[in-house]
Structure formats: C-alpha cells, structure tokens
Amino acid sequence: MHRVINPTYQTHSDAIDYFILNYETEGAPFGDQERNSLRLFKLNNKTLNAKSFKKPNAINKIVYKYFRKSKAQRSFEYANKLKELGIGTPEPVAFYELNNNLIFEKSYYISEQLDCDITYRELCKNLDIPNHEAILRAFTHFTFQLHEKGINFLDHSPGNTLIKYNNGDYEFFLVDLNRMNFETMSFEKRIKNFAKLTIHKSIIEIMSDEYAKLITEDYEKVFNLMWYETQDFQDSFQRRRRLKKKIKFWKNK
C-alpha cells in the first residue's frame, strides 16, 4: 500500500489507514455510486469524503503502475495546486494506492466533506432558483478566473462545481479533479471549456454575455462558438450513448 497524507492530517494516519483498509464495511455511502464509490467517515469533528475509483482494466493496471499517475494521486496533487492558485476545492487529505505484486489494483482519494447549498447541475434543472442569473454570472466569472490562471478543467460538467451562498455572494468549489491541464488558455480552449455544462440556450446566452464582457470580445463571437461547441458535444455524447446501447444489446443477446 502506497499513501501520501496531508501534513495537517499526519497525526491521524492510523485512523485514515483504518478507513481505507475497511472501506467496504465502514462509513456511510454518499452520492452516485454508479462509476466510483464514495463514503463518508467521521474523524473527530470532521467528516472525510473517501472516493474509491473503479478498478482499471488489465492494460491500465500496468499503465498506472509504471507509466501514469493514478486518478487518486492526480486528484490529490491537483487539489493542492488549485489551493495554491486560490481556487476553491475541498481540502485534500490523502491518497492511497493498492498494488498486487507487479500490477496496480485500486486507488482512493480522501478530502474533507464540503456541504454546499446547490451545485451547478441544479441551475440547469431549475431555472426558477432565486437569483438564478446572478449565480450564473458569478459562475462564469469563476470559470474566467480558472482560465486566467491557466487551469483547463477537462471535467467542467454540471455536477463538478459546488456552490455556497455567502451573505449575498457566491463561492465555488471544484470536485472530481483527476482530469485537468495547466496551460495557457486560447480563446478557442476557453469557450470549448463551457461545452459540457448545459443544453439550455438561455443559459448559454447569459454565460456568453458575461464572458464576452470579461474578455472584452464581441458577444456574437463568444455566443456563436459556445453554442456550436455545446451542440457538438451533445451530438457526440448522444452518438456514444447509442453505440453503447447497441453493444450492450448484442452482448446480452
């Protein structure tokens, strides 16, 4: 077992070890368990969120062992990088990797549980949320800050931004961090980064308007590209979905 623990939590290493070694029987299941498993563990007055990543396929067991950092390690390192850059994310606690002889088996990322008021996904599902447009514009400003700091969050999708209300202001926190590039963001990369966020044209219009102001670009130029990238992503997503259904159908015949 390989582990790296945040120095702040080093004195609790035995307890955190226990959580991981007894992950399947301890803690409370949390959130969507379809792809990866999440469990909450109590540590004194803190609640820790432990994410167990799905076991990789045979090829990736070798890749993660010898050639590429695990999803858990990347999540931990990216969280620390985000905090250094002043971007909100739950406090990183540790990552663990379990290996079996010469191959990689599983990995876990642990962070402090952060209770939010809403997620960006709720803005897409309920257009009647109070101050809906103000929150959208604040979120767009948050995304602009990511881009200005050279952060290309590749999983910038509805469930991966937590939002907290703060006396009339809004705070944003990124989760699901294992896919991220730190690079100079061109205009095209910036706008493409909005592609996974919504299917609603009205939301795209608001985000385009706010982002155009922030980068001092023409609104039509920003909107047209953002709407094109959104539609292109949705078309690609639906094609993949139909293909998976066909494969599943033939497998089950």
DSSP string, 159-227: GGEEEEEETTEEEEEE---SSEEES---HHHHHHTTTTS-S-HHHHHHHHHHHHHHTT--HHHHHHHHH
State the average pLDDT over residues 1-13. Answer: 95
State the average pLDDT over residues 204-227. Answer: 98
Residue 146, token pair as written in the block: 């990511």
List of residues 6+ apart from 94 with CB closer than 8 A: 3, 4, 5, 6, 9, 16, 76, 109, 110
228 vs 223: CA distance, rounded Å = 8
Q: Quote the pLDDT of residue 78.
A: 98
SS3 label, residue 61: helix
71 vs 54: CA distance, rounded Å = 10
Q: Quote the pLDDT of residue 33.
A: 60
Task: Choose between 31 and 216: higher pLDDT.
Answer: 216
Q: What mean pLDDT value characterizes the chain? A: 92
pLDDT over 80 at 252, yes or no: no
Helix then strand count (H, E) for the chain reads: 8, 11
State the average pLDDT over residues 197-223. Answer: 97
Question: In the chain, what percentage of residues exceed pLDDT 90?
Answer: 78
State the average pLDDT over residues 101-108. Answer: 88
- Number of Cβ within 10 Å of residue 230's Cβ equals 23
Q: Quote the pLDDT of residue 164.
A: 97
Residue 193, token pair as written in the block: 């980064």
pLDDT over 80 at 243, yes or no: no
Q: Is 124 exposed, middle or buried (0-12, 13-18, 19+ CB in 10 A)?
A: middle
Any idea which of 103-107, 114-118, 134-138, 227-231 has the lowest mean pLDDT?
103-107
Q: Quote the pLDDT of residue 246.
A: 60
Domains and CATH numbers, the chain: 2-112 (3.30.200.20), 118-239 (1.10.510)
Contact 123, 203 (CB under 8 A): yes
pLDDT over 80 at 35, yes or no: no
pLDDT over 90 at 161, yes or no: yes
Residue 82, token pair as written in the block: 């985000």
* pLDDT tens profile 107-135: 999 999 999 999 999 999 999 999 999 99
* pLDDT tens profile 170-191: 999 999 999 999 999 999 999 9
pLDDT over 90 at 82, yes or no: yes
Q: Quote the pLDDT of residue 94.
A: 98
* pLDDT tens profile 43-79: 999 999 999 998 888 888 888 887 899 999 999 999 9
Length of the chain: 253
Q: Give 156's pLDDT tier (boundaries 50, 70, 90).
A: very high
Any idea which of 4-8, 100-104, 166-170 has the lowest mean pLDDT?
100-104
11 to 46, 88, 138, 192: CA distances (angstroms): 14, 25, 38, 43
Q: Quote the pLDDT of residue 219.
A: 98
SS3 label, residue 65: helix
